[in-house]
Chains A and B, each alone.
Chain A
Amino acid sequence: MKTFSIGGVHPNDYKLAADAPIENLPIPDIAYISMSQHLGVPAIPVVAVGDKVKVGQLIANAGGFISAPVHSSVSGTVKKIGPVKDLSGKEVNTVTIETEGDEWIDTIDRSGDIVREIKLDSKQIIERIKECGVVGLGGATFPTCVKLSPPPGCKAEFLIINGAECEPYLTSDYRVMMEMPEQIIIGAAIMMKALGVSKGFIGVEDNKPEAIEKLGAFEKDYPGIKVVPLKKKYPQGGEKQLIDAVVGRKVPSMGLPIATGSVVQNIGTTLAVYEAVQKNKPLFEGIMTVTGNCAPGQKNFRHRVGTPLSKIAEYAGGIPEEAVKILSGGPMMGKAISNMDAPTLKGSSSILYLTEEQTKRKEETFCIKCGKCIQACPMGLEPYLLNKLGRINDMEGLEENRIFDCIECGCCQFTCPAYIPLLDTIRIQKGRVMRIIKNRPKK
């Protein structure tokens, strides 16, 4: 069975919410819709305080090339446009809407029928995806339309759909594959048409055999699309690792995945693409998991973007006493939530409760040069060395040792027997080195 060639770790997968069907969350009384739900420039609001909006109505335009428009997830009145604290406590420009009823704009097809025929041509598909504000829902929230328009000189050969969901605990992609397999296949076919490629792969880790079976049943109806079972290993869902695993090509250092002829899209994104193109529905809903060993219930929800996290936690049974840390995202790459009043974003994938035992950082001791981090690094870096150079601010040394290739997966820190916070140091120094490289005069 296929997997990526170097590094990786095997955390316990804890897919506790795997059997919980997707439920619709109640519509929030007040929706806080952030203008920074994507990588790049924040969106620019086009509504004013006092305006009436409907579900799916455009409320903000893309602020630049790498940016995405934002649509209202509720119907009601705009109450405020101004800063609201996000889940890390930082202020973000946000449109606050007070909900009145649930009135959708007429252009959205709300029927449950699966639309199989792809009517739009390549250009129209990309334009529609752009208009509907679809962004990559695998974590980075990179605008999907940009990824589907390869830069001049690059030719896409394959489309790879990332169904690995290698992060422990998360099950939202799995539930989508289980409940809407045909929509995923159609979404993949749409993106293949947009890219003009004839080969599409859906990579799924082998801890989800039922999903592989469900998707595989449609292989014969949609020629060109193949479901590829992958061996369970973290970070299988990393873009570069997935390309390596599925088509066996390596993304060059500092290069883009398109250099290998591959375009990778996440399961959630594929569903959003299907809904945007076939149902004309902008991206204002998302699927998220509420889970954890101490969680009162294991749930998968369809949430409206802008629902406060505290409301979701409350609906799912309240925040358990034992939870000392709450994460948004998986335990390997997720972010700790310091403000539970923060709203959900397009890319929100989970609320994960961790107990004290799970989160406690053991006391840091000395590096014994055991090399475990080097073995674990899926990018072939030497994390112990990067940590050492990073602590003395040796920027040249860091650049020589390819710190910019770090994908921040956390394998090194996970595996370190001395409990050294390797990734903390590497992440911050990577940012600095990237800035130096960016500001360097071009030859």
Chain B
Amino acid sequence: MTNIIIFTILTLSLLGLVLAIVLYYVAKKFKVKEDPRIDIVEAIMPGANCGGCGQAGCRAFAEAVVKAGNLDTLFCPVGGNDVMKKVAGAMGYEVAEKDPMVAVVRCSGSFEKRPRTNIYDGRSSCAVMSSLYAGDTGCLYGCLGQGDCVSACKFGAISMDPETGLPVVDEEKCTACGACVAACPKNIIELRKKGFKSRRLYVSCMNQEKGGVARKSCAAACIGCGLCEKACPFDAVHVNNFLAYIDFTKCKLCRKCYDACPTGAIHALNFPPRPAAAAVKPAASAEPVSGTAN
């Protein structure tokens, strides 16, 4: 009986020893040399693995950083300038500061503004819905309201507003990774410069139909009247295909276009309330000037 126990222990120990030696040499022989800097950079990364930088994840980004030798084409939108500075410091690279960005939803077609013309009863997905038809309102450019952007967001920054049926971006949580931009089949969501004190001006509409047609399907539509284009002193607003677009690289946040817009399609966010004398706002007065995001 004791013999059996002793032999068993001996055999197993011997086997273990032999295999350990074999494994040791194999591991030495086939060792993959990895740049230790990859680990350093990866430790700095936020670890969200969101893919917002265009790489497969944070480790892939770190590998790309080490391989590229500079930071010209690489930027982590989640970490922003702080993380990029740290990466540059660790690697000894130069880094140019980028403007922080945020996602904006360019549609104002709430239930109230944009009447439903039919009822959709398929699978609750914008991708499925847009493959089937133009949408359940008269506007074929507007938000479908099935929330593909909400499920695409890994940071919980987008939610559907049950009152308007439109997605709302939480500026604090949004990292500008661009997942929602890619998920939206109507290309409504855009990454825009966060702006001074988060103040932003943008055309919250994508409708490229003629004014009358657009207005018929949605009361908040951009009708392409061009008043904003004329009002802008900085050449930042242009109307193409009956749709205005504010170039955020040129916009100086003067709000002249916002005042000129007859339909309230231009949204102004996070601006302080105006002094009483200047607050002459005829048509767009229903729009909240500050306080709410989108």
Contact across chains for A89 and B140 when beta carbons are under 8 A apart: yes
Cβ of A431: which chain B residues have Cβ within 8 Å of it? 131
Contact across chains for B134 and A338 when beta carbons are under 8 A apart: yes
B225 close to A (CB within 8 Å): no
Contact across chains for A88 and B121 when beta carbons are under 8 A apart: no
Name, among B122, B123, B131, B134, the residue most crowded by chain A CB atoms within 10 Å (CB to CB). Answer: B123
Mostly, the B contact residues are: loop
- Chain B, residue nearest A425 (CB): B123
Q: How far is the CB of A382 from chain B (nearest CB, A)?
A: 19
Contact across chains for A428 and B133 when beta carbons are under 8 A apart: no
Give B121-137 as 1s and 0s: 1 = Cβ < 8 Å from A's Cβ atoms.
11101011001111110
Cβ of A335: which chain B residues have Cβ within 8 Å of it? 132-133
Mostly, the A contact residues are: mixed
Q: A88-B132, A89-B133, A89-B134 are in contact. Are A338 and B117 (CB under 8 A)?
A: yes
Give A410-440 as 1s and 0s: 1 = Cβ < 8 Å from B's Cβ atoms.
0000000000010011011001000000000
Contact across chains for A425 and B134 when beta carbons are under 8 A apart: no
A/B pair count, beta carbons within 8 Å: 41
B73 close to A (CB within 8 Å): no
Which A residues from 37 to 93 make CB contacts under 8 A with B? 85, 88-91
- Report the bound CA distance from A90 to B131 in whole Å: 11
Q: How far is the CB of B107 from chain A (nearest CB, A)?
A: 16
Q: A90-B140, A338-B117 are in contact. Are A424 and B134 (CB under 8 A)?
A: no
Cβ of B123: which chain A residues have Cβ within 8 Å of it? 421, 424-425
- Report the bound CA distance from A4 to B140 in whole Å: 41
B121, B128, B133, B138: the one contacting A425 at CB < 8 Å is: B128
- Chain B, residue nearest A421 (CB): B123
Q: How far is the CB of A437 from chain B (nearest CB, A)?
A: 18
Cβ of A425: which chain B residues have Cβ within 8 Å of it? 123, 125, 128
- Report the bound CA distance from A359 to B125 in whole Å: 19
- Report the bound CA distance from A416 to B156 in whole Å: 33
- Report the bound CA distance from A74 to B192 in whole Å: 50
A336 close to B (CB within 8 Å): yes
Which A residues from 310 to 366 make CB contacts under 8 A with B? 335-336, 338, 359, 361
Cβ of B117: which chain A residues have Cβ within 8 Å of it? 338
What are 21 contact pairs spanning A and B, CB under 8 A? A85-B134, A89-B133, A89-B134, A89-B138, A90-B134, A90-B140, A91-B140, A335-B133, A336-B132, A338-B117, A338-B118, A338-B136, A421-B122, A421-B123, A424-B122, A424-B123, A424-B125, A425-B125, A425-B128, A427-B128, A428-B125
